[in-house]
Amino acid sequence: MSDQATARTVPQMITGRFQYDDAHTIERYEATEGYAALRKALQMHPEDVHAEIKEASLLGRGGAGFPAGVKWGFCPPGVWPRYFVVNGDESEPGTYKDRLLMERDPHQLIEGVLIGAYATGCAQAFLYVRGEMALAQERIAAALNEAYAAGLVGKDILGSSFSCDIVLHWGAGAYIVGEETALIESLEGNRGMPRLKPPYFPAAKGLYMQPTIVNNVETMANVPWIIRNGAEAYTAYGAESSRGTRMFAVSGHVKKPGVHEVEFGTTTFRDLIYGHCGGIRGNHTLKAFIPGGASAPWFYEEHLDLPLEAGAVGAAGSMLGSGAIVVMDETTDAVKAAWRVVRFFARESCGKCTPCREGTSWLEKVLRRMLDGQGRPEDIALLLDLCDNISPSIAWPPKQTTICPLGPSAVSPIASAIMRFKPEFQAYCGGGDVPTSVTINGKAYLPPEGAPAGV
């Protein structure tokens, strides 16, 4: 653990109630400062609530890390109705923080949504919860019933003139619906496929072509704490660019996988993997880790001391993304790991854009063939050229020949694995090399300095 983290106690802003088994009930929630923030917010002018969130520079926790307060300001003035949508379609492999927030503390989410709706002038909110998360759906449904009965949701909330309905919507199980425009399509009852851009932001034209705020579950879970304690208290924690705390889900070859709420932007990967998670399992050593969801370029030993902060991770050539960290030890087969990630994207491609639909499944088939002992020397060049046709010049951040970034997401694991563990690929395909015609533009894709060329 870093000195700063140990120097003072960082509050558990959003997972504090996880210690109670009955945290999902309204009794426990109200006994632990629950709905105090809503009461406070309703005494404030909506613009002041909005200003408070803006002041707290609460970053979106869904992956892109866009400041929520700024996003709320994008709604064109005077256009009604507006909708508030919570993206609870958490389905990135290795990401399971939102699920816990929804299962263990649903009222916190509901309170956050009500405050957000109040600040942005929405009378209708939708909680889009991933289809596979049955317990989360049950807990949210029960919590909504409790909240409606208590006059916390619905008409004239807590005797104020603010009314807001919250609708729980179950997804049908598609990764792509995590993309906000696909989520909106799905919410409208259509097949979940990303919308064409422009309009670029749902804030301008979203659900039913009306201004729509789409925020992640964890983002909204932060809102009650901020309103209760003020933006100043919030910004006392975390790095300059990343205030407050953040939840990270660690899985893979660590001794204690799990979700940890840590100070945002100051905690390092080493703190998380070797501190909170107890280090690599058994007597094994770290081979590589995925720092922020399946689409992120892989990180290695030399990246361990980077802080969990979007700018630093981005500068090193990857992304913090959804906060899912997957750790691989030296027993991991790099080719098989790449195949496993690519297979996920191939299966989850919505089928809309040709390069993604055909390209990811082709990549998956080539990798599978290599694993089955049918690799050919030209396969490395083939894989990289197919990657190039999905994501031109295999750059990071990725360029794309597709509408949304799902297709290019499948490129990162392949580029990472080939560049770092080329001999493993060569072993599967009887030689072969990266052709000189292929350009790869990503810092994380390059072998570490001092490492022998071609390794």
Partner 1 sequence: MSDAESKTSVKITIDGREVEAEDGELVIAAAERTGTYIPRFCWHPRMNPVGMCRMCLVEIDTGRGPALQPSCMIPASEGMTVVTDSDMAKKAQEGVLEFLLANHPLDCPVCDKGGECPLQDQAYSHGPGESRFIEEKVHFEKPIPISDLVDLDRERCILCDRCTRFADEVAGDPLIHFIDRGAQTQVNTFPDEPFASYFSGNTVQICPVGALTSRAYRFKARPWDLDQVESTCTSCSVGCRVAVQSSRNQVLRYQGVDVDAVNWGWLCDKGRFDFESIHAEGRLGEPLLRADEGHVTATWSDALGRAAGAIEAALASSGPSGVGVIGGAQLTNESAYAWAKLAKGVIGTDNVDAQLGDGLPAEAVLGLPRATIDQACAPGGTVVVLGVDPKEELPVLYLRLRHAVVEDGVTLVEVVPHATGVTGLAAHSLVHGPGAVADVVAQLLAESPADAGGIGAAALAAAGTAVRSGPVTVILGRGNLADRGDLVASAASRLAEGLDDVRFLSGLRRGNVHGALAAGLAPGMLPGSVSLDDGREWFHDHWSTVPSDRGLDTEGILNAAADGKLDVLVLLGADPLSDFPDHDLARRALAGARTVVAVDTLPNPSVRQADIVLPAAGYAESDGTTTNIEGRISRLSQKVTPPGTARADWVIAAELAYRLGDDLGLESLDDVFAELARVAPSHHGLTAEGVGIDGVLVPLDRDDARTDARTAEDPVGLQTSGGDEEPTADVDPEAAEAAAEAEAADTEAGEAEAEAEATEAQADAEAADAATPDEGDGVEPVADDEGEPAGPGLPAPVRFSATAVAVPSPDTYSLRLLTTRKLYDLGTTTQASRSLAKLAPGAVLHLHPHDFDRLGVEADGQVTVSNREGGRGSVTVPVRPSGTVPKGAALLAFLQPGGQAAELIDASAVVTDVRVEVAR
Residue whose CB is less far from partner 1, 147 or 174: 174
- Give the start-end residues of each E strand in 156-302: 165-170, 212-216, 245-252, 258-263, 286-290
- Give the start-end residues of each E strand in 271-345: 286-290, 324-329
- The pairing of beta strand 245-252 with beta strand 212-216: unpaired
- CA gyration radius for the chain? 22
Residue whose CB is less far from partner 1, 273 or 346: 346
Q: Least Å distance between CB 171 and partner 1?
A: 14
Q: Least Å distance between CB 133 and partner 1?
A: 19
Confirm or reject binding of residue 362 to partner 1 (CB under 8 A). yes
Return all residues near 19 (Cβ < 8 A) that are at least 6 apart: none
Among 6, 331, 354, 439, binds partner 1 (CB under 8 A): 354
| CA dist., res. 347 & res. 368, Å (int) | 14
Residue whose CB is less far from partner 1, 9 or 436: 436
Among 350, 380, 404, 411, binds partner 1 (CB under 8 A): 350
- Count of alpha carbons within 13 angstroms of residue 238, beta-carbon side: 26
Q: Least Å distance between CB 379 and partner 1?
A: 10
Among 369, 371, 434, 438, binds partner 1 (CB under 8 A): 369
Return all residues near 371 (Cβ < 8 A) that are at least 6 apart: 335, 336, 339, 428
Among 278, 279, 357, 438, binds partner 1 (CB under 8 A): 357
Residue whose CB is less far from partner 1, 328 or 415: 415
Confirm or reject binding of residue 402 to partner 1 (CB under 8 A). yes
Amino acid at 126: F
| CA dist., res. 311 & res. 91, Å (int) | 24
Residue whose CB is less far from partner 1, 43 or 354: 354
Distances (CA, A) of 52 to 41, 48, 161: 10, 6, 21
Tokens 């009887």 belong to 430
Q: Per CB under 8 A, which region of 44-52, 90-98, 264-272, 395-403 contacts partner 1?
A: 395-403
Angle, to 10 degrees, between the axis of helix 106-120 and the axis of helix 217-235?
A: 80
Size of the site for partner 1 (CB under 8 A): 33
Confirm or reject binding of residue 85 to partner 1 (CB under 8 A). no
Confirm or reject binding of residue 425 to partner 1 (CB under 8 A). no
Assigned token pair, 134:
């049955």
Q: Least Å distance between CB 434 and partner 1?
A: 16
Confirm or reject binding of residue 91 to partner 1 (CB under 8 A). no
Binding track, positions 162-201, relative to partner 1; x by CB under 8 A: ------------x----------------x-x--x-----
| CA dist., res. 12 & res. 198, Å (int) | 39
Confirm or reject binding of residue 355 to partner 1 (CB under 8 A). yes
Residues near partner 1 (CB under 8 A) are 174, 191, 193, 196, 346-355, 357-362, 365-366, 369, 382, 386, 388-390, 392, 399, 401-403
